[in-house]
Structure 1
Amino acid sequence: LPDGNKSEKFDSVMEYLNKMAGREYVGFSNATFQSEKETGDRNFAIGYYLKEKRCFPDGANMIASLDLYFQLCSIEMTCESGSVIAATLANGGICPITEQRVLSTEAVRNTLSLMHSCGMYDFSGEFAFHVGLPAKSGVSGGVLLVVPNVMGVMCWSPPLDKVGNSVRGINFCQELVSLFNFHNYDNLRHFERKLDPRRIGSEVGEVSTVNLLFAAYSGDTDSLRRFALSGMDMQQKDYDLRTPLHIAAAEGHEEAVRFLLHACHVNPLCKDRWGNTPLDDALHFNHPQLLKLLSDDQLLHSLPWQSETGEAGTATPSKNAGESGSNSHNNGARE
């Protein structure tokens, strides 16, 4: 933490958490903070005991350290933001949403080691034996679970057991490792009856399609640009035959629609299983700012020199895929 007052140190921690959460919600509950201070007699007693034993560095302010601790105990988040934080730890300190490195690999290793050994209060030893994964529980009923190199999970269920852990949260973790070979000491080669989701094989393409469609849904043009530059087919379809252009148009993301049309040269005439084009979706969901953009591109794709079916081939990014304002089309759609 930086040298300075308590607020600067707290802001530094909050900035780390925001980066780990991919800018999902991370907040502060002042009511919880006041309650923690008023009922923190045991923590004050431990603090004074450590001070008497000279455990604090020279010049350290024990009361200020406790205040910072109480502040950190009052940070609040949603299951969504908590799961992204867990996924950042599972991903070696790189946030899977922003792909930004937040923590060093050494810091992640040390954090997960502490979570594995003492993250579940007095139940930590038994949890490590039965579940074998790093986790951290809270008295709100949340359990943050990390499956290294695979995923992060945040579950929330307020009913607690006698040591302060979520009853259903622990049950979920136990059921998870009974179904998948996630336990630290599960044999990855000679296991029986357990599934191994790390054996992806042909599922890589399915995961890529989901990520591509989610980027279109959220209007994340940076991710769309990254997918395009990696050579991904930008006209991949889901089970309803909807392309990223369908989804971006339905959600009203003009920048994403413009990028898909002008930089990736996707086919605007492509129809989903209900016979709707991206223009139909923009009209149905009342996004007037997209109507002219899509109708102009549909007109160009409908000109006589187009193929009889009007269906363009696989969309591939041009060399200027990083510039969403490009007006040149490939796929044999325009000379």
Structure 2
Amino acid sequence: MRSPIPDYLAEALRSVQADHSGATADYIPELAHADPDRLAAALCTVDGHIYSAGDAAAEFSIQSISKPFVYALALADRGFDAVLEKVNVEPSGNAFNEMSVEPDTGRPLNPMINAGAIAMHSLVGPPGATPEQRVDRVADGLSAFAGRRLHVDEAVSRSEMSHAYRNRALANMLRAYDIIADDPLVAVAGYTRQCSLLVTAEDLAVMAGTLANRGVNPLTGRPVVSAAVVRQTLSVMATCGMYDGAGDWMTRVGVPAKSGVAGGLIGALPGQAGIATFSPRLDRHGNSVRGVNLFTRFTADMGMHVMEVPPHAPSVIRSRRVLGEGDREVTLVSLQGDLRFAAAERVVREFQEHPPQQHRVAISLRRVFSVDAVARRMVLEAVRRLSLDGHEVYLLDPDEVLPDPDPGTGGRVRVLTRLADLLGG
């Protein structure tokens, strides 16, 4: 069977193709000459399947879409506190190239505006890294996000650098406040090369998919950054990624996103997919006109808004039965679905409100797909307390969704893979 998703993407592209509003980024000559009719969309699932339509293999410079990924690299390399000391995480409400800094410290308001992004570039790599090493770290890191080697478009880099007067002014201000230690011209040159890396819409979908997949590249299976770094990065994308249009974007589209003045646009839907579009005509905020329209449609059609709460799922407790006879009787509580805080609370409450009467108690995880860190602690604490109450506790966990269970002091648990083992032993 042919998947309907490429057909859907192609139809979505056709629906915006007649919109010729907006213009290419004329302040950068190489971008001003871009083909304004280029149009693409791509989607990468968290298990590594890519769907695309239109000019999805056409290369263009990544521009400001590099910002969240370099921010993630800086967090990974220097730590949260060191990065926050140099760049804040507050929405600016201003355009991407405004001098949005704290008046007393000179600290840029967030890493998604140019002032913050220039500072971020200076924080990648270990302390004391040379400018060349930082450029290499950025190229290597963004290539890891994309799952293939990315290269700089030298023509775009030269074109941008020859017209980077405002970025040079920003860098001089950052240097005056000791936000960066480099020569301002060197800092801008490194940041410009970062923005000149060539990508395709499919590359961007994979990069966004890596963020959606807790920092693990869906194609290569290799971790790029930690889940904690991803959470921070997506949070800043949600509040600051679309500049002075961020509030409107989050209410209408509701997906952590980032745009670039070459016409790229990405969105990362945690746990589901990375999405990218490409269309060079920009609106007054510097965002792709047709890209914004496409994402608005995707949200409406596919329920992508992160604040769109799904219907209440079936109870985490699938069943509760008493099996066996005599001293082999066991209370079997079967769980289902994904276990997070709310689900784990319901499991704990089940044992609180209905204490097992049997000596043996078993918790079946055969229909559980995943257990997050909080749910893990809560379930194991329930196991520990059941043990302290005198119960013999078992986990039926054939797929090891709860590996190496340690209930802690006073807790005891035996892991089984088959129900027969429970009834026969």
Alignment TM-score, normalising by the size of structure 1: 0.53
- 1:5 is matched with which residue? 130
User: Match for 1:14 among 125, 128, 139?
Assistant: 139
SS at match of 2:158: helix
Does the alignment pair 1:42 with 2:160? no
> Partners in 2 of 1:117 and 1:67 — Cα distance?
27
> Partners in 2 of 1:63 and 1:167 — Cα distance?
32
**Equivalent residues in 2 for 1:87-236, closer than 5 Å:** 87-189=209-311
> Partners in 2 of 1:66 and 1:140 — Cα distance?
18
- 2:340 is matched with which residue? none
Deviates more, 1:155-164 or 1:44-53: 44-53
- 1:51 is matched with which residue? 175
> Partners in 1 of 2:272 and 2:306 — Cα distance?
12
> Partners in 2 of 1:50 and 1:60 — Cα distance?
10
Residues 19, 54 of structure 1: CA spacing in aligned structure 2 closer, same or farther, 3 A cutoff? closer
Residues 294-316 of structure 1, C-alpha deviations (whole Å, 9 max, x = no match) = xxxxxxxxxxxxxxxxxxxxxxx
> Is there any run of 5+ residues in structure 1 with no aligned partner, and where?
192-198, 200-229, 231-335
Poorly superposed stretches of 4+, deviation over 6 Å? none
SS at match of 1:95: coil
User: Is 2:175–2:182's contact at 8 Å kept on the other side of the alignment?
Assistant: no
- Alignment-mate amino acid for residue 282 of structure 2: L
Please report how far the alpha carbon of residue 136 of structure 1 lies from its aligned counterpart in structure 2 after TM superposition: 0.9
> Partners in 2 of 1:42 and 1:55 — Cα distance?
17
Looking at secondary structure, tell me which structure has more helix per residue: 1
SS at match of 2:151: strand
Identity of aligned residues (%): 35
> Partners in 2 of 1:80 and 1:70 — Cα distance?
22
- Alignment-mate amino acid for residue 163 of structure 1: H
> Partners in 1 of 2:172 and 2:187 — Cα distance?
12
- Alignment-mate amino acid for residue 79 of structure 1: A
> Is there any run of 5+ residues in structure 2 with no aligned partner, and where?
1-124, 314-336, 338-398, 400-425
SS at match of 1:26: coil
Residues 227-274 of structure 1, C-alpha deviations (whole Å, 9 max, x = no match) = xxx9xxxxxxxxxxxxxxxxxxxxxxxxxxxxxxxxxxxxxxxxxxxx
SS at match of 1:63: helix
User: Is 1:37–1:70's contact at 8 Å kept on the other side of the alignment?
Assistant: yes
- 2:152 is matched with which residue? 28
Please report how far the alpha carbon of residue 183 of structure 1 lies from its aligned counterpart in structure 2 after TM superposition: 1.0
Task: Tell which has more relative contact order, 1 or 2 (C-alpha 8 A, sep 6+).
Answer: 2
- 1:314 is matched with which residue? none
Please report how far the alpha carbon of residue 190 of structure 1 lies from its aligned counterpart in structure 2 after TM superposition: 6.4
> Partners in 2 of 1:128 and 1:94 — Cα distance?
25
- Alignment-mate amino acid for residue 14 of structure 1: A
> Partners in 1 of 2:130 and 2:252 — Cα distance?
42
User: Is 2:265–2:291's contact at 8 Å kept on the other side of the alignment?
Assistant: yes
> Partners in 1 of 2:248 and 2:175 — Cα distance?
32
User: Is 1:26–1:78's contact at 8 Å kept on the other side of the alignment?
Assistant: no
- Alignment-mate amino acid for residue 166 of structure 2: R
- Alignment-mate amino acid for residue 20 of structure 1: F
Alignment TM-score, normalising by the size of structure 2: 0.42
The count of residues paired between Structure 1 and Structure 2 equals 191
- Alignment-mate amino acid for residue 265 of structure 2: V
> Partners in 1 of 2:150 and 2:278 — Cα distance?
16
User: Is 1:26–1:76's contact at 8 Å kept on the other side of the alignment?
Assistant: yes
